[in-house]
Structure 1
Amino acid sequence: MKFSKKSALGLLFSLTLIVSGCGQTKTASESDAAPASTPAALEEKLNVQVSFYPMYEFTKNVAGDLADVHTLVPAGTEPHDWEPTPQDIASIEKADVLVYNGAGMESWIDQVTDSLSSETLIQVEASHGINLLEGSEEHEHEHGHAESADTHDHAGESTTEEHDHEHADEATTEDHDHDHETDAEEGHTHDHGGLDPHVWLSPVLAIQEVRNIEAGLAKAAPEHAEQFKQNADAYIAKLETLDQDFKAAVTDSKRKDFITQHAAFGYLAQQYGLKQVPIAGLSPEQEPSAAQMASVIDFAKEHQVKTIFFETLVSSKVSETIASEVGAKTAVLNPIEGLTEEEIAAGMDYIGVMKQNLDALKQALNE
């Protein structure tokens, strides 16, 4: 199945290049206004394509009104297995900047970007420079649910405080332009295999992603670099407040463990000295084995867990089954891989959903 999927995707890329063979052709206004190699010199806003919701939120807050930011993965769609259409690829081809999380989250990224003919596209891998957690799905349940507080000292401090604005400039603007050979020479590739991509769920690591995005936008439009920095600083202040709220909430909590539907909260758990006990692995579509189910049920009974978390974009059936087995209730812990139509209508955003996550965690950790 994987082979046919890759083959279909490869054919899609070829067809897209044929259909959009003039993908680099600018509109009349673009051609008259400035050379194609200097999109930032245009009076028009930057055209920024981002992979999925957290990248949209971070990019929009940094860009402000200086860019049109478009999300590739539609609202309400689980992004792990999403793949771009020919129209999506054509949109990337025409963009000034492409922002993606990396760390293996966007399985399609290399195949798409390698197929592009644009020589001016700025590519920003938001997770660049972050120490990624291993996410071996086979062994999570055999080794005491490895996403725990055991490596707490390595969160945030080692990956974020040393990576200041200058480092973000170096990492993003030098390593993440259209030349993929630079990444390969430095041992940095987009194929992170079994590493955990969910870095945006730690407010501290989200700050680092914002800085990387800031650096990429500044490369695309250097004349607006100061405004991008001001916007980033303002948004980071909110993330720092969120970080302090999480610290305060877990400091005196009765318990430090929580059971969640899939292994999305390893970075958050690591950052705040908590222990994530995932039912399934890194992909929310992964079906847990009978042994995994039994292991989680035993853990819940032994530790008298009263809340089993599920999430919004995938079925809650497995979480409900375990909750019923152990006499617990279910509640939402949102990995913010995308917003539902209802959340969008309610005006929710990353900060708002993270506050909901904080409230849900606070309650579960004190039962």
Structure 2
Amino acid sequence: MNVRRLIPATALAGAVALGATALTACAGAGAAGGGADGKLDVTASFYPLQFLAERIGKDHVKVDTLTKPGVEPHDLEITPKQTGRLGEADVVLYLKSLQPAVDKAVAQSGVKNVVDAATLTPLEVHGTSGHDHEGEEGHGEEGHGDEHGHSHGEAAEDPHVWLDPVKYAEVAKGVGAALEKADPGHAADYRKNTDELVAQLTALNTEFEDGLKNTATRTFITTHAAFGYLAERYGLDQEGISGVDPESEPSPARMKNLQAVAKKENVSTVFFETLASDKTAKSLASDTGLKTDVLDPLEGITGKSQGADYFEVMRSNLKNLQKALGTK
């Protein structure tokens, strides 16, 4: 006699239902984070990584950022309470060396899924364009300075990879892969969203290539030496008034040198940014008879930004560069 026939049908149905519920719960646990809304909790250190998480994660993620709008990322300080909350995130996205306070907090947080964007695309050392800076401090190959923790070895690697659409696309792929790993139940969606974003960044790169192909000059002056990757990608020469820190004061020798560069290279414009003071840029422009305009390093979006998101601000940057460089 087959004893299994003695099991009441109602009991068997209940067992199947319980098993299905357990499987669903396990699938849910593997497909999303521990948030009350079932979404993957992602903490991004600052805007460019927040943007990637939101575009790739969409409805499957809840994204918080450590750097609030209007705060200069390099100057960010983190409280013990913020460090504690960081430890509750399912995924943390940051760029090591850009924000020393974040580096320290991440190390203390104990988060399992940590993504360092600096490992997703090769970092390079960028000084200024190669014009003569002999006798000046902080404007050679080590032009990004150690005082903000940006040094890796003897020379400082430039962290501003998001200002090059090609390198930013490489970071996007890495972020997408990290979200897939943390939330495999929605891997197909993350992959699809990543592919769409990479395609948009590829198109943006083409816009910059075409838009900056023929210009009267290839040199631009900016308060914040954040555009080394962009300059290298499109064959331009960046001259930073300050180093990586937009608030630092340039030396008199540096200001004198920039006046000479502006004259020699037919520079028309001194660029400043929205999150830092324009005092130095206006001072140099006044001394040299140049105009001023915005070149946004996209470290945060505020009401003063020339666009509502990464793509809009980058296209504004392109227009401002075309105007300043004399696009033909």
What is the distance in 2 between the residues matched to 1:266 and 1:117? 33
Matched, 1:93 2:84: no
Matched, 1:232 2:194: yes
Give the counterpart of 1:75 among 64, 69, 88. Answer: 69
Structure 1 residue aligned with 2:121: 130
Q: Deviations over 1:205-254 (max 9, x none)?
A: 11011011101111110121111010011111111111000000111112
Structure 2 residue aligned with 1:292: 254
Structure 1 residue aligned with 2:101: 108
Structure 1 residue aligned with 2:16: none
User: TM-score w.r.t. structure 2 length?
Assistant: 0.80
RMSD: 2.7
Structure 2 residue aligned with 1:192: 152
Which protein has the larger Cα radius of gyration, Structure 1 or Structure 2?
A: 2
Matched, 1:301 2:226: no
Structure 1 residue aligned with 2:228: 266
> How far is 1:199 from its partner?
0.5
* Gap runs ≥5 in structure 2: 1-24, 142-149
Q: Deviations over 1:47-86 (max 9, x none)?
A: 0000011111111101010000111111000001202122
Distance 1:110 1:347, change over 3 A: closer
AA matched with 1:114:
A
> How far is 1:87 from its partner?
2.8
What is the distance in 2 between the residues matched to 1:191 and 1:256? 28
Give the counterpart of 2:289 among 308, 317, 327. Answer: 327
Matched, 1:40 2:2: no
Identical positions, percent: 39
AA matched with 1:113:
V
* Secondary structure of the structure 2 residue equivalent to 1:229: helix
> How far is 1:39 from its partner?
7.4
Give the counterpart of 2:78 among 69, 80, 84. Answer: 84
* Gap runs ≥5 in structure 1: 1-32, 148-189
The one of the two structures with greater contact order (alpha-carbon pairs below 8 A, sep at least 6) is: 1
* Secondary structure of the structure 1 residue equivalent to 2:74: coil
Structure 1 residue aligned with 2:243: 281
* Secondary structure of the structure 2 residue equivalent to 1:243: helix
Q: Deviations over 1:179-205 (max 9, x none)?
A: xxxxxxxxxxx9736211101000111
> How far is 1:117 from its partner?
4.0
Distance 1:101 1:111, change over 3 A: closer
AA matched with 1:112:
A
Structure 2 residue aligned with 1:366: 326
> How far is 1:110 from its partner?
3.5
Distance 1:281 1:341, change over 3 A: same
> How far is 1:256 from its partner?
1.0
Distance 1:279 1:352, change over 3 A: same
What is the distance in 2 between the residues matched to 1:34 and 1:191? 44
Number of residues of Structure 1 aligned to a counterpart in Structure 2: 287
* Secondary structure of the structure 1 residue equivalent to 2:207: helix
Distance 1:236 1:146, change over 3 A: farther
